[in-house]
Amino acid sequence: MGKSTLVREFSKEYNAFVELNLERKEDKQLFEIANVKLIIEAVLVRENLSMKNNSVLLFIDEIQESPKAIHLLRFFYEDYPELHVICAGSLLEHVLKDISSFPVGRIQQLVLHPFDFDEFLTAKGNDQVLKLLDEIPIKEFSHHIIMKLFHEYVIIGGMPEVVKTYVETDTYTTLKDVYEEIWQTYKDDIEKYGQNNTEKKVLRHIIDTAAHEKDRITMSGFGNSNYKSREVSEALRSLDKSRLIQLIYPTISTQPPQEIDFKRKPRLQFLDTGLLNYALGIQSELIGLNDLSDFYRGRIIQHIVYQQVQSQYVSVGHKSHFWVREKVNSNAEVDLIYQHEHFLIPVEIKSGSQGRLRSLHQYMERTNHHYAIRFLSNNLSIENITSLTKKPYTLLNLPYYLSTRISQYTNWLIGNY
């Protein structure tokens, strides 16, 4: 994800920077001392540094390799508040569940997502386009320019190494090896957390078949296998903790607080849409399309919009959800629910004309406000809609690329309509 690169760039704000990598034996051994004062002294001597009159940033990379290091973090915080410490690691949720004395309240946990569209544009040097995106509402003339760039982003996704290679080569043909290396690394890593050979086989099977599953999954027989529901659900929970493939369960609420129904079928959300495209083998098909709305049953565009919205949150436990109402002969489903203060805003992705908004109508008839959002390929517009029971509401139509700005546009919608 570029965690180490990001921290090194941030370290330029400090007078001194110390980097430890716990995949190195000599760095990991420091935390066998179990005394923070001695660890700091050893590090400062080794790096020929002093804490006096210096602002020092200590970076502990690959911290998942040492549960002892995680346990000692509370003492860095309590005994040496003048020393700033950043840690980074992969698959940390798997390590943290086995730590009985995690220093709650002393550590701020943050999630680093793949690049969102704005960060993709930054990598490409499209500063003028970013200025256009900052204007609310966006100017109509810029739509086709930005949509073309967004299609590039949808195809390759936001993995930093992939974006870097694409920017350097300006071609899609060089990316296959980068995807394969990333994908294989994730597969090798996640297998470490299978408790036995059977769990490892189930994990491998899910990773190999998940991309081809339907919109909402069934645990039993996942991926045309003979695996039982319990085996699949346990493996998927491991993948969910790794964030490689997340389980997204529906909410049944139309007003806060959200009630999540874990008994209903969930969706799967991959870490990155580019990786999903690669796993499906559809990137070459995407290149020539002018409108991605209905490609692959609309799954790709729904996936990228969710990824964009999710990327706006850095808290570890946050997930956005979709809404369902499942009754006999009266099922309804809204693609995404966005919580804005005391409103749960329904968000449709690529729905058609007003006559096809049946699920949105049902949601709006049950909620405590009159605001709805729809992402589609067209330019920004506002519609005044009436539900089947004659409840009026305001529908804000936004182009897909503005999903990173859902918060700003929700504020704009509520403040002006």
Give tens-digit pLDDT for 151-199. 999 999 999 999 999 999 999 999 999 999 999 988 888 877 777 888 8
Q: Are 113 and 320 in contact (CB under 8 A)?
A: no
For the chain, what is the domain count?
2
95 pLDDT band, cuts 50/70/90, is low
Whether the ω angle into residue 81 lies within 30 degrees of 0, i.e. cis, is no
Q: Are 300 and 286 in contact (CB under 8 A)?
A: yes
pLDDT score of 42 more than 90: yes
Q: Rounded to the nearest 5°, which phi and psi values hold at 233?
A: -65, -40
What is the Cα 46 distance to its own chain's centre? 38
Query: Looking at the structure, do residues 181 and 311 belong to the same domain, yes or no?
Result: yes
Q: Is residue 7 part of a domain?
A: yes
Specify which residues 371 forms β-bridges with: 394
Average pLDDT over residues 265-282: 95
12 pLDDT band, cuts 50/70/90, is very high
The reported pLDDT for the residue numbered 273 is 96
Specify which residues 338 forms β-bridges with: 345
Q: Is 329 exposed, middle or buried (0-12, 13-18, 19+ CB in 10 A)?
A: exposed
Query: Looking at the structure, do residues 238 and 359 belong to the same domain, yes or no?
Result: yes
* DSSP summary character for residue 379: P
pLDDT score of 328 more than 80: no
Specify which residues 347 forms β-bridges with: 336, 373
Axis-axis angle for helices 229-242, 176-190 (nearest 10): 120
> Rounded CA gap, 100 and 93, in Å?
13
pLDDT tens digits, 99-154: 666 667 788 889 999 999 999 999 999 999 999 999 999 999 999 999 999 999 99
Query: Looking at the structure, do residues 291 and 195 belong to the same domain, yes or no?
Result: yes
Query: Looking at the structure, do residues 195 and 342 belong to the same domain, yes or no?
Result: yes
Query: Looking at the structure, do residues 236 and 346 belong to the same domain, yes or no?
Result: yes
Q: Is residue 406 part of a domain?
A: yes
> Rounded CA gap, 234 and 203, in Å?
9
Q: Is residue 190 part of a domain?
A: yes
292 pLDDT band, cuts 50/70/90, is confident
Last residue of a domain, one of 49, 67, 96: 96
DSSP one-letter string for 206-249: HHHHGGGS-SB--STTTTT----HHHHHHHHHHHHHHTSEEEEP
Pairing of strands 343-349, 321-325: unpaired
The reported pLDDT for the residue numbered 139 is 94
Q: Is residue 142 part of a domain?
A: no
Query: Looking at the structure, do residues 190 and 81 belong to the same domain, yes or no?
Result: no
Q: Are 196 and 156 in contact (CB under 8 A)?
A: no
- Domain of 76 in residue numbering reads as 3-96
Among 122-131, 246-255, 329-338, 397-406, the least confident range: 329-338
pLDDT score of 94 more than 80: no
Question: What pTM did the predictor assign?
Answer: 0.91
Q: Are 207 and 187 in contact (CB under 8 A)?
A: yes
Query: Looking at the structure, do residues 91 and 181 belong to the same domain, yes or no?
Result: no
Last residue of a domain, one of 96, 119, 140: 96
- 328 vs 265, more confident: 265
> Rounded CA gap, 77 and 84, in Å?
8
The reported pLDDT for the residue numbered 53 is 62
Query: Looking at the structure, do residues 225 and 83 belong to the same domain, yes or no?
Result: no
Query: Looking at the structure, do residues 74 and 189 belong to the same domain, yes or no?
Result: no
Return the percent helix, strand and coil in the chain, to nearest 5: 50, 15, 35
- 87 vs 97, more confident: 87
Task: Indicate the average pLDDT of the chain.
Answer: 91
Query: Looking at the structure, do residues 187 and 92 belong to the same domain, yes or no?
Result: no
Q: Are 363 and 371 in contact (CB under 8 A)?
A: no
Burial letters 20-57, b for 16+ CB under 10 A, else e: bbbeeeebbebbeeeebeebbeebbeeeeeeeeeeebb
The continuous run of DSSP H or E covering 19 comes out as strand 16-21
> Rounded CA gap, 36 and 58, in Å?
13
Q: Which residue's structure tokens are 């999540």? A: 260
Q: Rounded to the nearest 5°, which phi and psi values hold at 113?
A: -95, 170
352 pLDDT band, cuts 50/70/90, is low
186: helix, strand or coil: helix
Last residue of a domain, one of 32, 61, 96: 96
Q: Is residue 101 part of a domain?
A: no
115: helix, strand or coil: coil
Q: Is residue 152 part of a domain?
A: no
Q: Is residue 328 part of a domain?
A: yes
Pairing of strands 84-88, 381-386: unpaired
Q: Are 216 and 267 in contact (CB under 8 A)?
A: yes
Query: Looking at the structure, do residues 91 and 186 belong to the same domain, yes or no?
Result: no
The reported pLDDT for the residue numbered 10 is 96
pLDDT score of 356 more than 90: no
Query: Looking at the structure, do residues 182 and 88 belong to the same domain, yes or no?
Result: no
293 pLDDT band, cuts 50/70/90, is confident
C-alpha closest to that of 257 among 149, 341, 358, 332: 341
Q: Is residue 293 part of a domain?
A: yes
